[in-house]
Structure 1
């Protein structure tokens, strides 16, 4: 299939062939008939991408600070890779479309193949021939709706959420500042609900569109002389009941102007991208005005449970969710309560999408919405996209399942470039990621099909998907007789771990988990000095806070931070002392989310060693993240954030300092491949993987039992 993409670094835009997106649980596969370019919103996105690096930095100062933070903590190499990955990635464009359902994923019951739907969401409802959209970001269309009009789905829901925040009644008045696409939609729906509308804009062209199409009762150019008096006359001297700001500007004029025209104790709704630093006097304070933000499509937006897992809010308590806003908008279209046909001022075939953006960037005439029309007669096949025609076979024939930020920054760049490793296929959730990874790292093809990367040619598979799918893909790959490298954790539950063990023992294949810290050169130095044997170990991690709505905090998807990250630290202590964990006990500092991410874990090992993992989310950001101390036989070692090592004991103190932080990713990847080449075995034994994974899961068991010690 074809998709419109843009590179953030160069601004290069093209319609290119990519694999179809995967249809996961709760997802819907849709063949687009139309998608909508919002001239205002998407112009900003494209403009930023076409700027120089300095221009990009000025546009996104917060991201510059993040880059500097990575540079400080991880060094120039990792920083360069992270920035390069971002700049070179194919970024999808678009967020509002409509079309026909090709397939419904597991758990979707209200939408079926052949239904016509409208879709929403950045990263989902893209400008592409086929899109995969979560159920709660997709609505079935009523009879009689034009698919072109229905494609305004996202914009309609955004505008409607702004109206709901205004909470207006029949006969009241509302000023809409900014009559771009959102402003026009809001004005149309306000008038349809019996609210009197004053439309305000700086451009006469958009005002004329509103006048000619019945979107406002009164239209005024912002620089009209006596504009405040005209609005007071229109409202009988009261002022408008509410103001919806749908403009996009860095000026504070809209927010202050809203204060001047709003009635006392009225409300101002921010729908567009404008500063909110209003002047306290003379209007905002004296009138006791209320300022509200309209969050995108409505309740449910940015909620992982709602958007990704499909858990709805009860209508009795949350009447208007983002999906119900979309449905309401489509009903307005189907009943002809609003007519938005005039909003599509230009239409392009999808193959000419780049020209549409060029028109937007260089526009000299007033226009608002641009529709992209798709060739719905074109056959669409779920098949691999060939990238490099190597057609060779080697000792190791490698495919990737999942290739997100971590894989692109730490796994793929470290694959040795040798003739005995052949790179076969890439499978990810999105076609753009699959293609970019296949191109950049020289794979033969990218694909939406699991069977393509598990074919007879592939004998080794890297799994770097989200945590909840690790166990599934490990089992599938082992059953297909592949050697497996899986990014941690290997699984989320004891049941999954036991099933993996059963399959592993029945197959003559290797399994390795991405426990990279044991491969750090500083860890290796400690291991050489201390060997095996009883020792005392302390591993303090200043992990920092992760928001509760981040996917890793979700127990079903990420497994939480203990399953998702603490396994690293238990593995390192296991490696250093040379024996398996046999007992674990844990105590957590209470937190109101119940995340248990400030926790002390006491480990007992088979050779008598003890270890403490002190995982703290409540520390200072500027404290280095990881600090390890090892004590044995009159010697002590300190590893500070995998940058610095000190070993104390008999003789002189050993000191080693690295220019760049090295957590062992390069050594880990190289060791995996060297193991396959030499003996067909990987450097971490399954016994260690099993014991470390089980001990990690039992940390949660101990916490549930009030800190009781649990045997591994």
Structure 2
């Protein structure tokens, strides 16, 4: 299929042939008929990508801060590789489309093949011939609404949410500052609610458009009589509400809104503008309210709602993202909103670059609602042909990847060739990523459907680097097709999944490896050498300053990531099993009470493990510490010797009353890949036994059980 793609590194744009997006549970696959280029929003997105690296840093200081923090934790080289991978990744453009349902796995059985629907979502409802969109970001189109009109639904929902935040009442005087696409629609929605609407903008053409079709009155911001006209419009009282839909770093919109508001009026922020709120004279003396409007409604930025399809009860949350989309479509159907005057240009997908060139060019003709159309094309649903042929030695691992995000691109894929493997095929959830990764690393081909990789006779090894909730099922499918499998941790999210994998593995005759990389690091190897001549039990004290994750991070979502015990503490359980050469016997865990959404009880836990050979380990895993403290401090004691791993940057070895310090780097990612592929080539067992993998995975579940019950758990 065709899709508009931009390189975030260079800013270059192109219409590329890429694989179809994957249809997953609670998603809807839609063949686009029309999509909207929002001139205001997308112009900013495109310009950031075209900016120099320094300019990008200036515009996103939050990301610069993340880079600096990552350098402290993982070092300059690892951070550089991560940043390079992020910059190299292609970006999907667009977030508002309309089309026809081709297939649906929505949990409500609401969408049927052939339904006309509007779709929303950045990186989801993209400028592409086919999109895969979560069920809560899809809405059916009324029969009398065209695809061209329905393509405005996402923008319309943003405007509608701002209107809802203003709580307009019949007869109120409301000003809209910023008469771009969202501003024009906002004016129309306000008039439909019975408000008297006054519009303000810097553009004479937008003011003229609003005067004809959207607002009762509209003025240019630079009109010398603006304040007089505002007072006349409101009979000398000032506006009841002001909705700011402008997009500018200037503080002028917020200052103007305070000046023209009546006493005890309200200011609602929809657009991104300067927010240096002037206390005096207006906000303070008029006792003005300031409200924020978040995108297209409740559910935005909530993983459970947007990705997992969990709706909010209508009795408690009347207007969600999806219900706002439906309400806006209904407003179009009832002729309460007239979008046709807002459509200034229409292009086919093949001419999308010309459309964007016009949008970002300040000297171009006036444009507002720019639509992309998707003509019928026979090859739309075909996967692009193989990019190039690579003849591989059948004795060597021929590797395919399911999932190829920044982690896989930084730590796994680059090490395949150096370990003697061949890169066969790659598939990702979004087609543009699969095509990009294949081109970047030299895969023979890229696919849109993981089942084609399982059936590929030229592939004997599959790496699974998707989100955690897919690992077990993909591993089962790959093993069932006779493939060697490397699963980036964890192997499973619950006991039922683990048992299914175990049963399939035991009958497969193939190698199964999980990405417990730390045991392969040079630091771990140095410690293991110190204790390998000692057969007695060891004592471990591992302190992990993990740091807090954002509350909406997918890794701590129970359904997607399984939480941090399953997703990260597994590393330290595996490392203890490696050093002790023994499996876990029992576990007892206690946690600090969750103090916030950010610091949950699973983030701050102390775990005591006993092993079958008598070893005892203590893991203190914390998210409530200071970021300046190194992340991992691991101590090992036994046989009169001691060792300390200092964040895998160095090792302190104590033996016979003397200290030996060894500088190290890396956490074993390269070494684990090489060990696994060597085992395949040599026909030997997996570098980590399945008994150990099973024990580590089961132990994480027992940690959670112990936290819940307050009792020790036995394996």
State the TM-score bracket (shorter-chain normalisation).
Answer: over 0.9
1:48 deviation in Å?
Answer: 0.9
Q: SS of the counterpart of 2:411? A: helix
Corresponding residue of 1:676: 680
Corresponding residue of 1:474: 475
1:299 and 1:587 map into 2 onto residues whose CA distance is 35
Contact 2:383 2:447 in 1 (8 A): yes
Corresponding residue of 1:614: 620
Give deviations 1:83-138, integer Å, cap 9, x for gaps.
11111111000000000110001524111100000000001100000000011100
1:391 and 1:359 map into 2 onto residues whose CA distance is 45
Corresponding residue of 1:423: 423
1:124 and 1:469 map into 2 onto residues whose CA distance is 20
Corresponding residue of 2:489: 488
Q: SS of the counterpart of 2:418? A: coil
Corresponding residue of 2:603: 597
1:459 deviation in Å?
Answer: 0.7
TM-score, normalised by the number of residues in structure 1: 0.97
Contact 2:416 2:423 in 1 (8 A): no
Corresponding residue of 1:447: 447
Corresponding residue of 1:172: 172
Contact 2:8 2:49 in 1 (8 A): yes
Corresponding residue of 1:155: 155
1:24 and 1:108 map into 2 onto residues whose CA distance is 14
Q: Name which of structure 1's ranges 111-120 and 80-89 shifts more when overlaid on structure 2.
A: 80-89
Corresponding residue of 2:552: 549
- Aligned partner (choices 617, 641, 661) of residue 635 of structure 1: 641
Give deviations 1:320-365, integer Å, cap 9, x for gaps.
1111111111011111111111111111111111111111111433
Q: How does 1:184-263 map to 2 (within 5 A)?
A: 184-213=184-213, 215-263=214-262
1:372 deviation in Å?
Answer: 0.5
Corresponding residue of 1:308: 307
Corresponding residue of 2:669: 665
1:408 and 1:379 map into 2 onto residues whose CA distance is 30
1:382 deviation in Å?
Answer: 4.6
Corresponding residue of 2:692: 688
2:224 and 2:380 map into 1 onto residues whose CA distance is 57
Matched, 1:325 2:318: no
1:385 deviation in Å?
Answer: 4.1
Q: Name which of structure 1's ranges 254-263 and 584-593 shifts more when overlaid on structure 2.
A: 584-593
1:598 and 1:363 map into 2 onto residues whose CA distance is 52
2:228 and 2:26 map into 1 onto residues whose CA distance is 53
Q: Name which of structure 1's ranges 564-573 and 373-382 shifts more when overlaid on structure 2.
A: 373-382
Q: Name which of structure 1's ranges 217-226 and 391-400 shifts more when overlaid on structure 2.
A: 391-400
Contact 2:118 2:141 in 1 (8 A): yes
Matched, 1:573 2:572: no
Contact 1:18 1:385 in 2 (8 A): no
1:645 deviation in Å?
Answer: 0.8
Corresponding residue of 2:411: 410
Corresponding residue of 1:283: 282
Q: 1:334 to 1:310 in 2, by over 3 A?
A: same
Give deviations 1:23-59, integer Å, cap 9, x for gaps.
1011000011110001111111111111111111111
Give deviations 1:133-192, integer Å, cap 9, x for gaps.
011100001111010011001100000000000011011111100101110110111112
Corresponding residue of 1:340: 339
Q: Name which of structure 1's ranges 609-618 and 594-603 shifts more when overlaid on structure 2.
A: 594-603
Aligned length: 707
Corresponding residue of 1:264: 263
Q: 1:279 to 1:19 in 2, by over 3 A?
A: same
Q: SS of the counterpart of 2:325? A: helix
Q: 1:301 to 1:462 in 2, by over 3 A?
A: same
1:227 deviation in Å?
Answer: 1.5
Give deviations 1:673-706, integer Å, cap 9, x for gaps.
1111112432001111011111111111111221
Q: SS of the counterpart of 2:219? A: strand
Q: Name which of structure 1's ranges 164-173 and 372-381 shifts more when overlaid on structure 2.
A: 372-381
1:371 deviation in Å?
Answer: 0.4
1:384 deviation in Å?
Answer: 5.3
1:387 deviation in Å?
Answer: 2.0
1:200 and 1:385 map into 2 onto residues whose CA distance is 52
Q: 1:651 to 1:317 in 2, by over 3 A?
A: closer
1:388 deviation in Å?
Answer: 2.0
Corresponding residue of 1:53: 53
TM-score, normalised by the number of residues in structure 2: 0.97
Matched, 1:126 2:148: no
Q: Name which of structure 1's ranges 671-680 and 165-174 shifts more when overlaid on structure 2.
A: 671-680
Corresponding residue of 1:77: 77
Gaps of 5+ in 2: none
Contact 1:383 1:449 in 2 (8 A): no
1:62 and 1:313 map into 2 onto residues whose CA distance is 31
1:228 deviation in Å?
Answer: 1.5
2:139 and 2:382 map into 1 onto residues whose CA distance is 24
Contact 2:104 2:113 in 1 (8 A): yes
Q: CA RMSD in A?
A: 1.3
Q: Name which of structure 1's ranges 511-520 and 49-58 shifts more when overlaid on structure 2.
A: 49-58
Contact 1:391 1:444 in 2 (8 A): no
Q: SS of the counterpart of 2:322? A: helix
Give deviations 1:364-421, integer Å, cap 9, x for gaps.
3332111001113444325354222225453211110111121111111222336x52
Q: Name which of structure 1's ranges 78-87 and 96-105 shifts more when overlaid on structure 2.
A: 78-87
Contact 2:179 2:206 in 1 (8 A): yes
